[in-house]
Structure 1
Amino acid sequence: MINLLVDVMMKVSRPLRSKTGITILVAGLALLTLTSWSLQSEELDPNQIKFPNQFASWEATVEQDESEDMLAQYPASIILWAGSSFAKEYHSPRGHQFAVADVTHTLRTGVAVAEGDKGLSASCWTCKTPDAPRLMKQMGIEGYSGANFVDLGREIKSVVYCSDCHVDGSAELTLPRPYAQDAMAKIKLPFDKQDSTMQGAQVCGQCHVTYYFQPEKSNKVNIPWIFGSTADDIEKYYDTRRFYEWIHPISKTPILKARHPEFEHWSRSTHAKKGVTCITCHMPQVSDDKGQTFTDHKVAGAMDNFDKTCISCHSSKTALAKKLDNAKNDINERARNLELLLVKAHYEAKAAWDAGATWPQMNDSIMAIRHAQWRWDFAMASHGLYAHNPKEGVALLSVATEQITYGREALARILAQLSVTQVEYPDISTKQTAHAAIGFIEADAIKAKQAFIKDEVDKHWHPVAKTGY
């Protein structure tokens, strides 16, 4: 359109090739240039103009729209997470473009709460949007985390974006989330002292990491690395603080919850030792149709990029795929076996409590359930464990199996002392039967959620909250 106007101006001004005519022409062209830039700026994000390939590949994460119902696949998880929102709904993650919409629509975040009720912490927005760091600056960290998740919904207008990892408008890496900065200070490796390889992994690790909400600090996000980042070190931190996320309604166990500790597992892996990071495998260098190289921000599966990255160390894609399948099958088999033992332990503890057991009697077995379930969760909550660090995954599940076996042996002795000869275990063959066992009516929760979406989200929230729905 602008080019057409320029052509028209050139033709019109042809008879006026005097000094005055040239002055008019130059002024007109300048005005057109400013108008063009103004229109373009309104239509295009500045980063889209400056980094078009990276921006386009980031937008392409909207193609990663498939998600699996993990509770339907592994219904035993419903019993293990009974008493928490994770027992309501838990799906595998989709592409970055769905981050805001998925946390908005999941049953885990519930609906608007009654006036005066605390509800879910706004900290649940923290890794989904660059609006979170903005709101922390405006409200203060504890002011933000102490706010209600739903109450800040109208403030969320952008999904995982360039400024989550880069100084806005440049390729320079940054770590905008305060809790991530605090975590690196704890292990004496501040972001500005890291090499570029570690910084690249760290910007992913600010969100792909386990954390909890500090109840004594208005539920602000905290990464529990004071003693270190292994499952043992984090457990020591939690046990020292006598921290728990919830009391399990069946066994009365004070439960710990792991949240996608990909960074922790990767940091102790063979890949990490060789300088192979999240970016190496999931965001490789690619070329556009003009031969220009750039970092692919679609964040695809590593095997999709075998010829670009993996081949430098692995000679055969078929052999690597087989190795990964074997590791995944091994971990899954161990995990499914462990889940059944944990479910039984929760119900055996219930039987003991119902028969009159006391805390002095139950302490060892309850702690065994707590510690075993923590290691199961620390392994299984990590996406891609079988590729990132299968050795650590197997070790976690092996130790957890030993712990829960010890706990069940202790429970068996208590049950014998209390003359309990039979324990009733639930039917966990399907998601529906497992939900019935904990008294959760999914249909009612869905109905309430749909009403909330219709009355609040659809009317008042930014369209990013509806992407993919």
Structure 2
Amino acid sequence: MINLLVEVMMKASRPLRTKVGLGVLTVGLALLTFTSWSLQSAEVDPNQIKFPNQFDSWQATVEQEEREDMLAQYPASIILWAGSSFAKEYHSPRGHQFAVADVTHTLRTGVAIAEGDKGLSASCWTCKTPDAPRLMKEMGIEGYSGANFVDLGREIKSVVYCSDCHIDGSEKLALPRPHAQDAMAKIKLPFDKQDSTMQGAQVCGQCHVSYYFQPENNNKVNIPWIFGNTADTIEKYYDTRRFYEWIHPISKTPILKARHPEFEHWSRSTHAKKGVTCITCHMPETKDDQGNAFTDHKVAGAMDNFEQACSSCHGSKSAMVKKLDKIKANIDAKARNVESLLVQAHYEAKAAWDAGATWPQMNDSIMAIRHAQWRWDFAMASHGLYAHNPKEGVELLDMATEQITYGREALARVLNQLSVEKVEYPDYSTKEKAHAAIGFIEADAIKAKQAFIKEEVDKHWQPVAKTGY
């Protein structure tokens, strides 16, 4: 750019090339050069200068723009999540560069709220941006979480970044989110007492972990690990607290929601026992054109990095892919079966309630639905379960099958007592039909969201909220 400006000035100044004119030109060029250098220096991130390879590979996550509509793929999920925002929109994850934009644009985060309404908690920003820890320091943790998601939208300036994982300007790992610090202490793995391998896993685990918003603490993020971090011990914690995220509108079941428990599954895996972490497989060491080694920050699938990350233990990529495909097919078959049983149970419970069932009659079956759906969700909400811990995934789905089978047997007895001879089940063969079954009109939600984007996000939010849209 500066070279082009110099060329233009030189051409324009030809008539002035007297001794005085050249003097003016020289001063002008010097000022122009200094101004340009100053502007460039102000725009260049210090981390980009100090860690250029890591920075460039982090920026390259913008290339990971493909995603899948998971509700279209698995429409039974819409029935299971009826009554929650998850039934509105649910996509597979994509590159880190889209974190802020995706949570901004999803139907799950809704639109601007009416004055005086509480709306969605700002805790939904927590894992999307380094501005979240900054705002927690400025507002206090509960002040931040008690704020509205939309109200803090204008404060979000950056997407998942160096300072989310490192002490800024340094290679030294950091764990800036208070909920993660608390969680690691609960399972006796405090961050500052761990070696770099475990610290690296925890850095990823501060966001790739299951959590909930504590209603008694202004909806601050909390990881429910007081009794441990298995599906059983987390369920014990929730049941002890009588906690639920929403009441299912069809079956009246108090529902629990798992959120991508990658760290939990990994922590009990063969990989974890061998010291193989998220970074080993998804951010392997690589080399630039000059042969300098660096950690690749374009976080990708392990198979994309097979030669660098996997080949020392798994000799053949084709054999590994074949094995994973077989595991995935087995887990998917079990999951689809559990989903079918759960959908039937929700509607059988509805039929029983409609016929006059009482809570003493329904308690066993409702708790079976709650516990079975929790285990299904704890398995299927985890990205990469097939590779991270397929053994645990199979165990969770097998237990979910047992629990919901028991629940449906209990429901059958209640339905018989109430002389209910037929239960109406919905057609949920497509996303559109499943949405119709729960009374959700996607077109209306999209229209409202687009209006909100146009009037609020496009006018007042930072560019990072629009990446990829």
Residue 174 of structure 1 corresponds to 174
CA distance in 1 between partners of 2:90 and 2:65 (Å):
15
Residue 31 of structure 1: how far off its partner (Å) = 10
Secondary structure at 1:213 match in 2 = strand
Secondary structure at 2:157 match in 1 = coil
Residue 41 of structure 1: how far off its partner (Å) = 2.2
Which residues of structure 1 form unaligned runs of 5+? 6-29
CA distance in 2 between partners of 1:184 and 1:270 (Å):
20
Which residues of structure 2 form unaligned runs of 5+? 6-29
Q: Deviation string for 1:319-353 (max 9, x for gaps)?
A: 10011001111110000010000000000000000
Secondary structure at 2:326 match in 1 = helix
- Is 1:449 the counterpart of 2:442 in the alignment? no
User: Letter of the aligned partner of 1:123 in structure 2?
Assistant: S
CA distance in 1 between partners of 2:36 and 2:286 (Å):
31
- Is 1:148 the counterpart of 2:148 in the alignment? yes
CA distance in 1 between partners of 2:33 and 2:206 (Å):
41
CA distance in 2 between partners of 1:35 and 1:150 (Å):
38
CA distance in 2 between partners of 1:445 and 1:420 (Å):
36
Residue 284 of structure 1 corresponds to 284
Residue 4 of structure 1: how far off its partner (Å) = 12
Rate the CA distance shift 1:406–1:62 in 2: closer, same or farther, 3 A: same
Residue 368 of structure 1 corresponds to 368
Q: Deviation string for 1:265-310 (max 9, x for gaps)?
A: 0000000000000000000000000100000000011001111110
CA distance in 2 between partners of 1:80 and 1:40 (Å):
52
Residue 43 of structure 1: how far off its partner (Å) = 2.4
User: Letter of the aligned partner of 1:320 in structure 2?
Assistant: M
Question: In the TM superposition, what are the counterparts of 1:174-193 in structure 2 within 5 Å?
Answer: 174-193=174-193
- Is 1:250 the counterpart of 2:265 in the alignment? no
CA distance in 1 between partners of 2:149 and 2:43 (Å):
31
Residue 208 of structure 2 corresponds to 208
* Higher mean C-alpha displacement, 235-244 vs 187-196: 187-196
CA distance in 2 between partners of 1:297 and 1:88 (Å):
32
Q: Deviation string for 1:25-56 (max 9, x for gaps)?
A: xxxxx999987763442121110010000000
> Could you say what the CA RMSD is over the residues aligned between the two structures, in angstroms?
1.9
Residue 305 of structure 2 corresponds to 305
Residue 99 of structure 1 corresponds to 99
Secondary structure at 2:347 match in 1 = helix
Residue 16 of structure 1 corresponds to none
Residue 241 of structure 2 corresponds to 241
Residue 189 of structure 1: how far off its partner (Å) = 1.6
Residue 121 of structure 2 corresponds to 121
CA distance in 2 between partners of 1:371 and 1:207 (Å):
24
CA distance in 2 between partners of 1:308 and 1:135 (Å):
38
Residue 185 of structure 1: how far off its partner (Å) = 1.2
- Is 1:343 the counterpart of 2:343 in the alignment? yes
CA distance in 2 between partners of 1:361 and 1:368 (Å):
13
Residue 47 of structure 1 corresponds to 47
Residue 317 of structure 2 corresponds to 317
Q: How many residues align?
A: 448
CA distance in 1 between partners of 2:69 and 2:33 (Å):
52
Residue 419 of structure 2 corresponds to 419
CA distance in 1 between partners of 2:295 and 2:250 (Å):
49
Residue 89 of structure 2 corresponds to 89
* Higher mean C-alpha displacement, 227-236 vs 182-191: 182-191
Residue 214 of structure 1: how far off its partner (Å) = 0.0
Residue 458 of structure 1 corresponds to 458
CA distance in 1 between partners of 2:2 and 2:148 (Å):
48
CA distance in 2 between partners of 1:118 and 1:160 (Å):
26
CA distance in 2 between partners of 1:444 and 1:215 (Å):
29
Residue 219 of structure 2 corresponds to 219
User: Letter of the aligned partner of 1:300 in structure 2?
Assistant: A
- Is 1:134 the counterpart of 2:134 in the alignment? yes
Residue 17 of structure 2 corresponds to none
Residue 16 of structure 2 corresponds to none
CA distance in 1 between partners of 2:343 and 2:115 (Å):
37
CA distance in 2 between partners of 1:39 and 1:465 (Å):
24
Secondary structure at 2:213 match in 1 = strand
Question: In the TM superposition, what are the counterparts of 1:46-85 in structure 2 within 5 Å?
Answer: 46-85=46-85
Residue 268 of structure 1 corresponds to 268
Secondary structure at 1:372 match in 2 = helix
CA distance in 2 between partners of 1:50 and 1:355 (Å):
69
CA distance in 1 between partners of 2:141 and 2:460 (Å):
25
Residue 231 of structure 2 corresponds to 231
Secondary structure at 2:237 match in 1 = helix
CA distance in 1 between partners of 2:36 and 2:456 (Å):
38
Rate the CA distance shift 1:284–1:33 in 2: closer, same or farther, 3 A: farther
CA distance in 2 between partners of 1:105 and 1:34 (Å):
41
Q: Deviation string for 1:145-167 (max 9, x for gaps)?
A: 00000000000010000000000
Residue 365 of structure 1: how far off its partner (Å) = 0.3
User: Letter of the aligned partner of 2:161 in structure 1?
Assistant: Y
Percent of aligned pairs with the same residue?
88
Structure 2 length-normalised TM: 0.93
Secondary structure at 2:311 match in 1 = helix
Structure 1 length-normalised TM: 0.93
CA distance in 1 between partners of 2:62 and 2:262 (Å):
22
